[in-house]
Amino acid sequence: MSLIIDAYNVLFAITHHGGKPIGDAIEEARTRLIEKLVRHHQETGEDVTLVFDSHQPAGGASRQESLPGVYIRYSHPPRTADDDILRLVETSTGPQHLRVVTSDRALGRACSKAGAEVVGAMTFYNDLTLRGRKADEDGKEQQLKNEPPSADEVREWLELFGDDKA
């Protein structure tokens, strides 16, 4: 399965400005989202394409950036991120292996009709965050299991299970 994400759709769904200018809040949320997506790729192997609307002048192909397993695309006017997402789905040889993350109903219907699975932006982000927390907890638990016992734990175990003849 590969993810195609309507980036600003997700960012606006998760951003709580907290008195910050909207641009600053969006940029902070963008950084957090990308970090979570890189981790998601590392844990699942699922490739991610994050599609942003760009307000750069029209002309040329969509600009792209790449991180491990996460591809970031910027559409150019007059094309929108929605246009690029739909094009990615419609030109895919396996749209049934695509999961599109958007809360845009028209885009969701079109992608679903083309064969992709569609997930709402907030639902996806909440699931991504929950899986990240679970992975953190599992990592901490594994770390505790791998640590040697403390001196107090050794004494307690010896008292309970030690050789009475010692």
At 37-65, the pLDDT tens digits run: 998 999 899 999 999 988 665 554 455 67
pLDDT for 98 beyond 60: yes
25 assigned to some structural domain: yes
d(CA 162, CA 166): 8
Between 59 and 144, whose confidence is greater? 144
84 assigned to some structural domain: yes
Find the CATH number of the domain harbouring 157.
3.40.50
Structural domain boundaries, residue 126: 2-161
Count structural domains, the chain.
1
Residue range 86-106: mean pLDDT, rounded: 96
Residue range 71-87: mean pLDDT, rounded: 92
166 assigned to some structural domain: no
Q: What pTM does this model have? A: 0.73
pLDDT for 122 beyond 80: yes
Q: Is the peptide bond before 68 cis (omega within 30 degrees of 0)?
A: no
Beta-bridged to residue 118, according to DSSP, are 100
Q: Which amino acid is at 143?
A: Q
Local confidence band at 159 (pLDDT 50, 70, 90 cut-offs): confident
54 assigned to some structural domain: yes
96 assigned to some structural domain: yes
Ranges 18-22, 78-82, 85-89: which has the least confidence: 18-22
- Which residues make Cβ contacts (< 8 Å) with residue 117, sequence separation at least 6? 1, 96, 98, 99, 100
